Structure 1
């Protein structure tokens, strides 16, 4: 393949992937541009998984390759220290999903993989790369693969995907009549089925027009800093003054009278305090990095943490122990894999076939946890003390 490696691709100031930030907090993009861009191990794994997915799609739809060439490419990916076996399983599921869409057309549709799209008609100097675009029968599918599991990503009203779709409309509307746009996100570690959502091309273009003034403000670094869930992956999140002020604003509830705050006030405190622990830990890591670089953080210094003991050579150590009469059984633990770990080893399809369908695994309800009202999970039915007492009475009388 002659395509540019995913990690080496240029990025726009107002990227599609960052749209959920700069659409809410317009000055954030310019602020982020002043800070170094760091890449986490999870992001690097995501890049590797995307490159595997691209290889499989190109083999199927773009540039047919023989078994040897494909095997050699996969061998190179599998030699990467970041490679995980489920990357192969999940990217194959992604390929199969795209195949199912392609095969549903009455005649072969147009398929393009890793298409760079120009977003400049709606967002200044912006562009992005769409994982897969399928066009046929007045329909356009815009599909994205996500390797992460920490944050479930929904296709509904997803600004990143809507921008990719706008770019695709700009690129292909001269050649194809497109009436409906279908957006899909394949996130195998989160969803059993891809998240999908549809919008008319007319409504999508209207949305594109509606964000133009917001994008212009973001490009110029204008507007107010707005704190919210969109701060999660912002480079400035740990030292952003607006976010720090919001996180620390719970102090206003300390002098409240009467001495007990109401449950309405509890809800507000929880909302404002959400993220303080993770923010504090992230800020502490950032401060440590600054001190280790030779900088100063008032009132803090870097010290050596608690050390750990490691075998100099585990094979030599265990051989010496066995020669000294230590039973080998004492040196190892034999524990069954958890259900989640076994599902990862077997793959979802095999797991369902061998364990779930025969009824060898039972699903237990999770422990109740408090979540914001915006959480998409259904609320647990509230049971009053009177109802609870009534249920106990009925049970005793049966």
Structure 2
């Protein structure tokens, strides 16, 4: 059995939007990174802490974790505490709910060879709960909302859990939660069993059939972010190069409608451009020549060859080689722990207003007052 599913739940956001991308990516090796390994390490720690709290015989993995640190420990403990709270809540519907940690979930009834691993599955009468831990800081992950529906990865996991346990319990609702402590994000979306199965039959299954054989239409969008062929995908290039259709010569300046159209695509264009540059550099370093381009050494800054020797010499000369500054809020919170941090420093922390940023109207943040608003009062 392969370690990763061809049509994985974690990549479902992409292949549901762009079915043929799955086959294009299938034979390209995954790129590992320290961030991915950090996530893997913390998942292992999370599983250990939860199972230990449940009284199960487990081995402490800490000494074998590459990126273990105090922050990871705090994140994992917060996850454990949340899971234990949810188990207690489940007992309102069922005296003895089943709790599965790192549970293999098979949803191949709808997706060919479809399976994944659920971080935590709590099965009880009335409600089936799926909890997924996210260690990343860069991207805020949502479990879903009423406007856009549920997170497809979580919904695939929920289908797998229903297949395994649905006949054993009287389940009516599925509660899906993303637990992302580095972003202070606990996102929960609840869907009825009937609605989930309807989505699986009418959306997931037919799209998965297309994706499995490499058919369907290519489509570019925000789902391209983690696609393995995002740098060379022709559909993504066409999507971004549509901006060239604007006539920049007449009139001499763009009007507000044109500016709005460009704003809707500029972030994706910048991302696409950076992906092209990164891909081209990797290819050039392996011997590919691009007409009109060459590899040169980039700018660099001076560095000390031996910092300990530098410090010693400066001290001997009667100077202090070190600068002293207060720990950052994140580092201070990690050192003290969130509870102690709040107790000691809660009244000494404030959050200044963020720098004005132009975003689509669909963004959930409230709009700031503008000069027009001020004058209209």
Do they fold alike, i.e. is TM over 0.5?
Answer: yes
* CA drift at 1:95: 0.6
Do residues 165 (structure 1) and 158 (structure 2) align? yes
- Of 347, 350, 363, the residue aligned with 1:362 is 350
* Cα distance in structure 1, aligned partners of 2:162 and 2:6: 21
Do residues 332 (structure 1) and 322 (structure 2) align? yes
* CA drift at 1:112: 0.5
Residues 274-304 of structure 1, C-alpha deviation per residue, up to 9 Å, x if partnerless? Answer: 2333332332222222122222233222222
Query: 1:90 aligns to what SS in structure 2?
Result: helix
Do residues 87 (structure 1) and 80 (structure 2) align? no
* Cα distance in structure 1, aligned partners of 2:25 and 2:12: 13
* Cα distance in structure 1, aligned partners of 2:251 and 2:81: 61
| Equivalent position of 1:388 in the other structure | 374
Structure 1: unaligned runs, 5 residues or longer: 1-7, 392-398
Alpha-carbon contact 1:111-1:133 (below 8 Å) kept: yes
Do residues 74 (structure 1) and 62 (structure 2) align? yes
Residues 332-371 of structure 1, C-alpha deviation per residue, up to 9 Å, x if partnerless? Answer: 1111223344334333333222222xx2122221121011
Structure 2: unaligned runs, 5 residues or longer: 145-149
Do residues 135 (structure 1) and 120 (structure 2) align? no
- Of 105, 109, 112, the residue aligned with 2:97 is 109
CA RMSD of aligned residues (A): 2.1
Query: 2:302 aligns to what SS in structure 1?
Result: coil
Alpha-carbon contact 1:13-1:126 (below 8 Å) kept: yes
How does 1:294-305 map onto structure 2 within 5 Å?
Answer: 294-305=287-298
* Cα distance in structure 2, aligned partners of 1:217 and 1:302: 41
How does 1:214-363 map onto structure 2 within 5 Å?
Answer: 214-255=207-248, 257-323=250-316, 325-327=317-319, 329=320, 331-356=321-346, 359-363=347-351
* CA drift at 1:126: 1.2
* CA drift at 1:12: 1.1
Alignment TM-score, normalising by the size of structure 1: 0.86
| Equivalent position of 1:64 in the other structure | 57
Alpha-carbon contact 2:74-2:334 (below 8 Å) kept: no
| Equivalent position of 1:199 in the other structure | 191
Alignment TM-score, normalising by the size of structure 2: 0.91
